[in-house]
Structure 1
Amino acid sequence: MDARATTLDATAPAAQTRLRAVIVDDEPLARRGLEIRLQAWPDVEIVGQYGDGASAIAGLRDDRPDLMFLDVQMPGVDGFETLRRIPASEMPLVVFVTAYDHYAIRAFEASATDYLLKPVEDSRLAQALARVRCARAQREADAHCGQLLELLGELSGRAPLRLDEALQPDAARQLRREDRLIVRDGHRSLRVELRSIRWIDAAGDYMCIHVDGEDGKGDTLILRATMREMEQQLDPQRFPRIHRSTMVNADRVVQLRPHTNGESFLRLDCGQELKLSRTHRDKLSILL
């Protein structure tokens, strides 16, 4: 590898998540030239190359690229028409590659992340990749925010919340006053009535939610979560923590039996006994 490539390697983010890229250009030499330059960036993986827009559109679903280097001028389906035909759900980040700078304005109007002039210069390629990484981070943050708002909406029993609604000072408190808990089971979301929950305990990386069953014997729902996450979802006055790995529905406690070592045992209306540890004795006022 020459000195120029070594310098570029040194500036590439070592722990950066890999960028899956495709190159779309009707000129084989142009594709090869860009491929060689991209080899200097270890976080960029070329997963496909296409000589026309129609082939690129057909291949995107299998390639699932994060980034597409797209030539503007191609016979048949040009770069702009290629973008118009790609479904929004499959649209990667786009860097236009063109021999004419007057296409730059149209490139940004088409929501391109950046554009490169042929022949591509290493410094401009570095700038474009930096913009791509920032754009991907923002896209992932937006997607994560959308998922959180959807989850908050589910917890509140309403449609997905707007960001300003979720940021209201009493939003978390309001969610805790709801009468249902959303439990995700694979691809399903189950609504569990809070009054049906007897107690909750931790089992490694999972939480076991013990609930009333149709046969009266009770049932257990298992989800991947932490005790801290459960505490954030539930009202601590209704579901106090009584042990390092146990929360209880305070309304289900019918008896407290002191133990000689300072601990106590709680008896639930279903007959189950749970230990109240000494470190959580401050919860007695809630339970009695």
Structure 2
Amino acid sequence: MDSARHAAATPRNESAARLRALIVDDEPLARRGLEIRLQAHPDVEIVGQYGDGASAIAGLREHQADLMFLDVQMPGMDGFATLRAIPAREMPLVVFVTAYDHYAIRAFEASATDYLLKPVEESRLEQALARVRSARAQREASGHCAQLLGLLGELSGRPPLDLDEALKPDALEQLRREEKLAVRDGGRTVRVDLRSIRWIDAAGDYMCIHTDGDAPNGNTLILRATMREMEKQLDPQRFPRIHRSTIVNAQRVVELRPHTNGESYLRLDCGQELKLSRSYRDKLSVLL
């Protein structure tokens, strides 16, 4: 467990407009990089830096921070487990920091104060801080807590959790085991059983999700979306992209047949054949 480095605390009544911030990341270089970038923002005061969730929670209670830059992928207590351990009345504004998390990016966009991708860019940090300042000016603690609970629920397309559900020790694990894909289509949300998906392909500005169904060739759900949006919601180990316009459910592949020029053909358990293009040959390890 990394030891905390504390900055001198400034009484709230002497700097009411300042943002008292914690940096929580298990990578010392990442913490240092964010610290250097924040020096350009005089209204941000770093009151603590921590390498794990447990120390961060203790530091939050000690320093009564307004803002937490929270790494998602930390060993032991990850970012989401850290959030679950913070009482609602103590919850600061949260900016998530992540290298890339295919489960959560879309949820961050919808529910977090903001998120930053590593390596952190100056322009994105400025945008995030602008959102933080705006949120602090108008937020209520209960409203922010509801946003975070909504985030935990959105990880699996479930409705927002209530506080008791979110604080259960296995809450995040249950969400990640949820076998549903939530796809937004205009004003509606369609939830699709992941196990029923055979493959997904692009058709212009639309995505075709081919699933098991009563029809002879199964059912096809057509949604206005992009391939990138679909990839962000799906685990690439279970749903690898095999062509610029095709994603496949790896569990449904029953045969792989090499073809010319480094390409291959996959046969699914429903009889459908799909091309694995040369550009995606690195996905063979997932499919075999």
Larger radius of gyration: 1
**Structure ranking higher on relative contact order (CA contacts 8 Å, 6+ apart):** 2
TM-score normalised by L of structure 2: 0.43
